[in-house]
Amino acid sequence: MEKRPLGNTGMELTKLSFGASSLGQEFRSVDLNEALKSVRVALDSGMNFIDTAAYYGRGMSEVLLGQVLPDVPRDQYYLGTKLGRFAPKHFDFSPRRVEESIDISLERMKLDYLDIALLHDIEFVDVDRVIEETLPALRKEKEKGKVRFIGVSGYPMKIFKEVLAKADIDVLLTYNHYTLQNDMATELVPLCKEKGVGLMNGAPFAARLLTNAPLPEWHKATPQVRELAKKAAEHCAGKGVDIAQLALQFTIANPDFATCVTGSANPQRIQQWVEWAALPLDEQLLSEVQAILQPVHNWFHIEGRPENNDTPAKV
């Protein structure tokens, strides 16, 4: 699988990476044996980066990874986790919690160090405080050798621009902002290149919006967004293509993003994604689908504190 450089880190990530949120049953109940097998299938299929978080399953994702990773040579994969968000409404970005969270994550996954540690969903808190207090605390963990590279993750574009302007980070992870429907994350490309920051993308399916699966109850898509996404999916089906295939292929085609993180606790699904990734992108179908989605192009929602978001257009 194609590998791409992650900023100035010296790491090269495969264009498709394994997201371990599903191991924490974030979307549905999972079979534990299937979940464990999915990690092995991802690694065996060539993916070399695993993304998880203390938040996923409130620790369950990391614990399950700890059942698999000790059997895999440490030089065969990179591992990133996130901290700061620990439950839907519980956030703690204090310096003390940074140190504790890193140690607990290492213990859960039975690792000696993390390749990447990200501050998770910083849009829910005071971003200036994250920059002034939390990132320096995380940098101390880097100096101790517990973490190789540090950064932030979240949803609004505004938070990334602010952090890139005011802080020194190695990597960042954006999600839902480089898909068939929303490509706003391209705004971050020149900013990251200028500073040598590694840019990672997540959620090519926009939380199932760009699939044939029903949307989760918490999805914030408006009726028009849902209607046009369904129309696009039906158009793809009429051409004999699953819209999820087109969504995945589109997202991983852009070399400005070191990798695209997506996950499942279904080994068959992961194998299918790997097969899709190897197929050529249908440019004609892509153009047709983008035309269908044009009225809701770059629609986004408010996430976290309002002041940490740009004002969305009404759709």
Where on the phi/psi map is residue 154: left (φ > 0), alpha (ψ -120 to 50), or beta?
left
Among this protein's residues, is 78 annotated catalytic? no
Query: CB–CB of 171/197 below 8 Å?
Result: yes
3-class DSSP state of 262 = strand
Torsions phi, psi of 141, nearest 5?
Answer: -65, -30
Per DSSP, the residues of 102-162 read HHHHHHHHT-S-EEEEEE--GGGS-HHHIIIIIHHHHHHHHHTTSEEEEEEEES-HHHHHH
Catalytic: which of 55, 56, 175, 178?
56
Per DSSP, the residues of 38-78 read HHHHHHHTT--EEE--TTGGGGHHHHHHHHHGGGS-GGG-E
Q: What H or E segment, with its residue span, contains residue 198?
A: strand 198-202
Active site residues: 56
